[in-house]
Amino acid sequence: MLYDALINLLGEDGADILARVLVAVLILILTALVRRLVGVLARYGTHRLTRWTQSDWDDRIAEALVPPIRLLILVVGVEIAALALNLPNPFAYWLRTVLNTLVAYSIFWALYRLTEPVIAIAWALSRRTVSDVALSQALEEKLSRVLVQIVRALIIVLGFAVVLESWGYDVAGLVTGLGIGGLAVALAAQDTLANLFGYFVILADEPFRVGEYIVFGDVSGTVEHIGFRSTRLRAVDQSLIAVPNSTLMNATIINWSRLTKRRLKMTLGLEYTSSPQQILAVVQTIREMLRAHEQVQADSVIVQFVEFNESSLDVLIVCYMKVTAWADFQAAKQDINLRIMRILAEHGVGMAFPTRTVFLEHAQHAEPPSVAASEELPPEEPPSAAVRDRPVPDDAEN
C-alpha cells in the first residue's frame, strides 16, 4: 500500500528510485553496525584469548588486522549499496574501479601491518625449535628490523602493481622499462650493492659484534658501528677506521674478544754453570707451581728442558690461562714471572745472557798469559753444597 501511494505521488520511476535509495541507506547503516561489531568482537576476543595464552601474539595480530578489515567491510558495503542504486554505466564503472582499488589497498594494508608481528612470532618459534642456535638479542633485533623493511617494501611494490593493473595500465611494459633503467643504475652502483650485501652477510654470520676487538690484515680495532655501507672501528691510538662491508665480508677476521682462554708460552735461558740436578729441580718446581696456580689450566702445563743454546740452557714453558681480558692476562703473567724468579733464587740458578769468551794467543817468545781474558761474568753466588749435590729427581710427569 505504501509503495502504491509512492507510485501515485512520485510516479513509477520516482518510487523505484526512492526505494533503491532507501535500500542503499539501509545497507550503509548495516555496514556501519558490522564495522562497529567487528571492533567490539576483536577487543572481546583478544581479552578472552589473553586468559588462555601466555603470549601477546593474538593481541598483536588482532591489532594489525582490525583496521584493514573495517575498511574492507566499508568498501564492500558501499559496493553493495551502489549495486542497489543501479547507477548509470560510466559512473558505475569509475566507482567500481575505485572500490576495487580500495579492496586491494585493504588487503595489502593488512599484509603490511602483519609483517612485524609475524616476523616476531617466527623468531620466537625458531628459539623454541632450534635450541642449538642462539642469537644475541641485539642481532635478532637488527635482523628483524631489516626483514620487516624488506618484506614491507615488497608488499608496497606488489600492491602498487596490482592497483595499476586494476586501472588498466600495462604493468609488464612498465617493469621492462624500469628493468632497463635499473640495470644501468646497478652497473653504476656495484660497490654500493656489494657493501649492502656484505651488511646482511655480517648480520647473518655474525663474525663480530659492536664492542668486540677484531684484527684483519694490518687493520685492528674495536667495532663501534655496523652500517649499510661500512663498519667503523676505533683503533688503539683512538683513530676512527671505516672499512667497507664488502672488504670485511671477504676478509679473514681474528676476533680477540671471543677467546675462551689465552696461551702462555715463554723460554727461560738458564746459566751453563747450572748442574743437571738444579735444572730438573727448577723444572719440576715451576711445573708444580703452574699446576697449582688459580689462573692456569692444570692439564695444559708443559715445562721441559729442551735445548742447549749458544749461551743458555733453555727451558720451555707452555700453558693455557683461564683469563681472556688482556689486562687480566698481563697481571697473571706478572704473577707467574715473579714466582719463577723466586724459584730460581731458591735453587741458586741464574738467568743467562749472551756472553762470549775470547782467548788471545801471544807471540812465540812471549810469556804465556797467566789468566785468559774473558768477557763472561762469574755467577753472583755459587749454589750451596746441599743444592749442588741433590740427587737427580724423577721427571716422568711430562
Q: What tens digit of pLDDT does each residue of 290-336 get?
A: 999 999 999 999 999 999 998 899 999 999 999 988 889 999 999 99
Give the residue with greater pLDDT, 345 vs 75: 345
What ranges do the domains of the chain cover?
2-187, 191-258, 262-388
pLDDT tens by residue, 236-289: 899 999 999 988 888 899 998 888 899 999 999 999 999 999 999 999 999 999
Distance CA 328, CA 293 (A): 14
Domain spanning 191-258, CATH class: mainly beta
Q: Please report, for residues 137, 211, 214, the alpha-carbon distance to residue 232 in angstroms, rounded to integers and kept in the order given.
A: 21, 11, 11
Q: Tell me the C-alpha distance between 106 and 115, whole Å.
A: 14
DSSP 8-state secondary structure symbol assigned to residue 39: H
- Whether the CB-CB separation of 61 and 49 falls below 8 Å is answered with no
Q: How far apart are CA 49 and CA 59, in angstroms?
A: 8
Of 91 and 213, more confident: 213
User: How far, in Å, are 13, 82, 94, 164, 192 from residue 88 at the CA level?
Assistant: 15, 10, 10, 24, 54
pLDDT for res 51: 55
C-beta neighbour count of 144 within 10 angstroms: 15
Q: Is 326 helix (H, G, I), strand (E, B) or coil?
A: helix
Tell me the pLDDT tens digit for each residue of 348-377: 999 988 777 777 776 555 555 554 444 444
> Would the pLDDT of 91 be above 60?
yes
Show the cell assigned to 87.
547507477
- Residue 261 gets the label, from left (phi > 0), alpha (psi -120 to 50) or beta, of beta
CATH architecture classification, 262-388: 2-Layer Sandwich (3.30)
Tell me the residue ranges of DSSP E strands in the chain.
Answer: 213-216, 219-226, 230-234, 240-244, 254-255, 262-270, 302-308, 313-321
Which pLDDT belongs to residue 374? 43
In this predicted structure, the answer to whether residue 2 has a pLDDT above a threshold of 90 is no
Tell the burial category of 299 from Cβ atoms under 10 Å away from its Cβ (0-12, 13-18, 19+): exposed
The answer to whether 191-258 and 262-388 have equal CATH topology is: no
Which backbone phi and psi does 96 adopt, to 5 degrees?
-65, -40
The string of DSSP codes covering 132-151 is T----HHHHHHHHHHHHHHH
Mean pLDDT (the chain, rounded): 78
Give the whole-angstrom CA distance, residue 72 versus residue 109: 10
| Chain length of the chain | 398
Whether pLDDT at 177 is above 70? no
- pLDDT more than 70, % of the chain: 72
pTM of the model as a whole: 0.49
Residue 134 is predicted with a pLDDT of: 47
